[in-house]
Amino acid sequence: MQFFRALKFKKQYKKLPQQIKETTQKQLDLLLLNPKHPSLNLKKMRGTVDIWECRVTDSYRFTFQVAQDYYILRKIGTHNILKNP
C-alpha cells in the first residue's frame, strides 16, 4: 500500500504543530505495517460508505479511504474533522 495525500489533507497537515506531525508520521508508518495495531484505533466512520478514521493522539485524528493499492488521506486535525470527514 502507498499513500495519496488529498489537497485538503496537505493543507491541514501544514498547520499542525511539529510534535503532531512527527506523531502522525509514526502512525502512518504503523498503518502500513499493521493496520490492526491498537494504538491506531482504526474504525469505519458511521454514516459513510468507505471512510475510515485513525487516531494520531487522544485529540487528533485522520480520515482516509482505500482505493486499490492506496490509502487516500482525506483530512487530519482535532475531533472536529470527524463531523464532516
Write out the residue range of the structural domain in which residue 12 sits: 2-83
pLDDT band, very low/low/confident/very high, at 43 (cuts 50, 70, 90): very high
Across 8-17, 37-46, 64-73, 74-83, least confident range: 74-83
Q: What is the pLDDT of residue 69?
A: 92
- Residue 17 belongs to domain with CATH number: 3.30.2310.20
Note the pLDDT of residue 48.
81
- The DSSP bridge pattern shows strands 60-67 and 52-55 to be antiparallel
- pLDDT at residue 85 tops 70: no
Q: How many domains does the chain have?
A: 1
Q: What share of the chain has pLDDT > 90, as a percent?
A: 84
What span, in angstroms and rounded, lies between the C-alpha atoms of 10 and 37?
24
First to last CA, the chain: 21
Cell of 32: 502500513
Asked if 56 and 69 touch (Cβ cutoff 8 Å), the reply is: no
